Chain A
Amino acid sequence: MSDHVIVTIAVPAAHIADANELARCLGYSAADGESFGTAAWQDGEGHLYAVASGPVRPTFVSASASPLAAPAWGADMAAAARAQALVAIHEPEAGEPPCAAPDRIAAVAGLAASAALAVLGLSPVPADADA
């Protein structure tokens, strides 16, 4: 049985570049600097977010709130620190969940992506083209 926990993170469009630097610091390789892509999700007021969701080791949650160390593959530590200052993590037993908002990087741990997106108050930006 896996020891991983699913974490879903909503990054406001204005903070995507900084959040990817934070992902480089907390991730396994330089490739994790591409964790947050297109801002394809929106809240009830139309603010846009990039969302990443996936199974991570439990230490990811504590590491995201700990002093950052520069990874071997390098990262913009100032940008990573700016992103870290915006992180608000919700764990299921920890009280009121943080909805996504333009001034925070909201994360939900321990829920499947679909349930986490409901907690975050996000829905996909409608696609307008046939594949």
Chain B
Amino acid sequence: MMISNGIGLSPCPRRARAGSPALSLTARVHALFGGAQGGMWDFTDPSTLRQMSNGTGAVADGDPVGWAQDLSDNGNHLVQAVAFKRPGFGWEGAGFDGVDDSFNSIDLFDLSATGELVVCVALDRPSPSAGRIIAEITSNSSVNAGTIALFNGGNASIGVDRFRSRGTANPAPVGFAEPGPNRAIISCVGRISPSMRVMRRNGVEGVNSTSPQGTGTYGSWPLYIGSRGGDSEFFSGRIARLVICGRLPSPEETALIEAWCDEPLRVLP
């Protein structure tokens, strides 16, 4: 595949059928998009990463990561233009230092055609309470309608993984009742109307809420990974893989996405 900055990168297989067991997990998750907006990123594969935000400079262990390829073919590559704010590459994912590291989408992350999505992340953190924002669509999902956030804690819930999905209304984020393990596969399914928020951690459902989220779609906002708006609430730890797909998955498809995210860490039972 030739991307816009002229760099040839590993091709993503197209038109694969998600149900085919002969296909790799990557191909099967890729096939789930099927025209849906979103993105999938593998921070453990240096062939999909570059040091500089213009997509140049091969990445080796310990190098800064300034560009990450969207493997979904939606073109939602992630960047970090400021050198100090680039996470460091490791074989278990991009390392966020909890000080200033984060990624953001190059362009607006456009989910305006849908009010349904699934988010799944594989992470490894030094403690259950390390860091805050894992992924957030918009610079502040507390105030902007049509957004989501996957985050950790808050003063009232230190170490607890939480998920916000909202339309015009902003119900309290759902979350687990107890701090999470350091290594976790966290998946969240959201639908604005009729409202649904399902959150799973390491394959176990922790919350299933129908509290009203108002109306509308998820909108078109910047996507931030590891921070709120690029300048606060920084995540500390490694993110191995991440999927955000703008469609409602079946339980089997959610499990498939979790399995892909889990490949580098192997924490699922």
Contacts and interface: CB of A to CB of B under 8 A. Distances in A.
B231 interface: yes
Contact of A113 (B53, B60, B83, B99): B99
B84 A53 contact: yes
Nearest to B87: A54
B61 A2 contact: yes
Interface in B148-162: 149, 151, 153-157, 162
A51 B99 contact: yes
Contacts of A8: 99
Nearest to A28: B83
A54 B173 CA distance: 32
Interface in A45-70: 51-56
A38 B53 contact: no
Interface in B89-137: 89, 97-101, 126, 132-133
B142 interface: yes
A118 to B, nearest CB: 13
Contact of A55 (B62, B142, B157, B232): B62
A130 B155 contact: yes
B228 interface: yes
B64 to A, nearest CB: 5
Interface in B196-232: 228, 231-232
Contacts of A37: 100, 231
Nearest to B141: A131
For this complex, into which size category does the number of interface residues on chain A fall?
Answer: 20 to 34
A127 B155 contact: yes
B81 interface: yes
B85 A40 contact: no
Given A117-B99, A128-B155, A130-B155, A55 B63 contact: yes
B143 to A, nearest CB: 11
Nearest to B66: A28
Nearest to A113: B97
Contacts of B88: 2, 4, 6, 54-55
For this complex, into which size category does the number of interface residues on chain B fall?
Answer: 35 or more
B97 A112 contact: yes
A121 interface: no
Name which of B81, B84, B101, B153 has the most chain A CB atoms within 10 A of its CB.
B84
A35 B84 contact: yes
Nearest to A9: B84
Nearest to B79: A31
Interface string A88-123: 000000000000000000000000111001000000
Contacts of B81: 29, 31
Nearest to B53: A31
B100 A54 contact: yes
A2 B87 CA distance: 13
11 contacts: A2-B88, A31-B53, A37-B100, A38-B232, A54-B84, A55-B63, A55-B86, A56-B83, A114-B236, A130-B154, A131-B133
Interface of A: 1-2, 4, 6, 8-9, 23, 27-29, 31-32, 34-35, 37-38, 40, 51-56, 112-114, 117, 127-131
Which 7 pairs show the lowest CB-CB distances between chains A and B?
Answer: A2-B62, A130-B154, A31-B81, A113-B97, A54-B84, A52-B84, A53-B99
